Structure 1
């Protein structure tokens, strides 16, 4: 085992949002499958775990216009961007706010109609152990819904882990290229959530993205999977340039540019679990 210290990654909202259109689509697909919330005659109460810069949290306000929605995130950089862009009264009279919280330890302190998470739980070790507490925090008829990337064996991520484990980088980076692999198989999510008494739907989708620009896959992972590596390398620009150069070469071979762009398949796992009314 490697002894590299695993500090929380530093996030770059601007880099993350460079591919916001592609990143938002899975959330919209998840949102479309969330059933009617139990709130009747009152505003819904909604939590978004791992809200990031708030660009999908606001989509909840578009659907439940009078709801009180709170986005929770551990990253000060992401929260600052979310508060700047989205905090306050929504167009439908609801309220959108953001708070600092670690999804690994967050538990509801009030009843929620919906707890949702978009591409965040893969960063949370043992997140399935929190399902029982989250479901307990739902009102009867409430829903827990999430989607997580399921592409950790894809070349983009496998090559990152392999590069971190080469003799040149192992002592400095250790498992930083693999520290986000904390998801279950779709069948395991189904079994766990059904075992907690929920009516559960779980599915997988592979999105075939056509990315544009030079080294677009590298640009994509700079906003997500590369964050632990870049955080660990810190201000050592020489090391960053060397690492990115080696990773870039591997990605170009794995994802060659075509006549219309670079094809980037991306598998995701979805779950919607409704608590009995």
Structure 2
């Protein structure tokens, strides 16, 4: 049975906005020129819109739409709505990536991009054909996802959440270890769909500041399913967070210059045949 949809907190997510935005810039650097003039762009899983707005810097005349299924995230993104400095337009709309089928409405895009979203979408590989149907010839589908479920950040969360104390409440809400596939799986799937595919991985060494910064980081992303599941029981929520915090402190020590969080991400840029 799929886990409940996490409740998102834009303010918490944006506490590490610079670190989270860096992979998006690295992804866009490998996206080739787009065929449309002006280009039509979709950002699938746009979150609070801060990185969606960056798309207008690269394609200033484009019509860009950010899609997300979180009302709080879309409310935060609304501040970016309107004409862009280069003569394009930026807007946002509600859509769930697990059911998004743009070709059914006849909408086509020069670029479909997704930043740190697809690991939340069960069976996302099966959605690639429909999404690519909505990409114009010569257009691009590009995404990046965290690929670090074996890192202590997540391994400790799973170990705690599936232990005797928490298993009955949290055993079904944590992300499965197959939520992200091996790089070759993505390369093969995209190539078989007729794309020229470039797939790679990068490990970032984020130097975080403040008290318990790794916990603060994960409160904005990976811990959201736990916080959502325990939202109606603050005492239990706080108990879990305290146990998890203590485990993280032992694995991610604080140095004079900050706390280092190694974080691996997987990238894919797939150009559709022209």
Q: Does 1:102 align with 2:96?
A: yes
Give the structure-2-normalised TM-score. Answer: 0.96
1:135 to 132, 135, 141: 132
* Corresponding position of 1:64: 59
Written as runs of structure 1 = structure 2, the 5 A alignment for 1:124-203 is: 124-179=121-176, 181-203=178-200
The Cα of 1:243 is off from its aligned counterpart by: 0.6
Q: 1:214 aligns with which of 199, 211, 215?
A: 211
Q: Which residue of the partner structure matches residue 267 of structure 1?
A: 264
1:250 to 244, 247, 252: 247
| Equivalence for 1:79 | 74
Q: How many residues align?
A: 271
CA displacement at 1:192 relative to structure 2 = 0.5
The 8 Å contact of residues 164 and 175 in structure 1, kept in 2 or not, is answered as no
In 1, Cα distance between the equivalents of 2:136 and 2:251?
A: 47
Counterpart of 1:34 in 2: which secondary structure? Answer: coil
Deviations, residues 173-217 of structure 1 (Å, cap 9, x unaligned): 113233485111111100100011101100000001111111000
Is the CA contact (8 Å cut-off) linking 2:40 and 2:108 kept in structure 1? yes
Give the root-mean-square deviation of aligned CA atoms. Answer: 1.2
Q: Distance in 2 between matches of 1:35 and 1:208?
A: 27
The verdict on how the C-alpha distance between 1:174 and 1:159 changes in structure 2, with shifts beyond 3 A counting, is: same
Structure 2 matches for 1:36-75, cutoff 5 A? Answer: 36-39=33-36, 42-75=37-70
Correspondence for 2:115:
118
- Indicate conservation of the 8 Å contact 2:196/2:270, yes or no: yes
Q: 2:49 & 2:164 partners in 1: Cα distance?
A: 39
Deviations along 1:19-64, one digit per CA (max 9) or x if unpaired, are 000000000000000001011xx31100000000001000101111
Does structure 2 conserve the Cα–Cα contact (< 8 Å) formed by 1:215 and 1:252?
yes
Per-residue deviation, residues 142-170 of structure 1 (Å, max 9, x unmatched): 00000000011100001001111111111
Contact (CA 8 Å) 1:123, 1:180: kept in 2 or not? no
In the alignment, the residues of structure 2 paired with residue 142 and residue 107 of structure 1 have an alpha-carbon distance, to the nearest angstrom, of 17
Distance 1:254 1:268 in 2: 20
Scaled by the length of structure 1, the TM-score of the pair is 0.95
Q: SS of 1:221's equivalent?
A: helix
Measure, in 2, the Cα distance between the counterparts of 1:11 and 1:138.
29
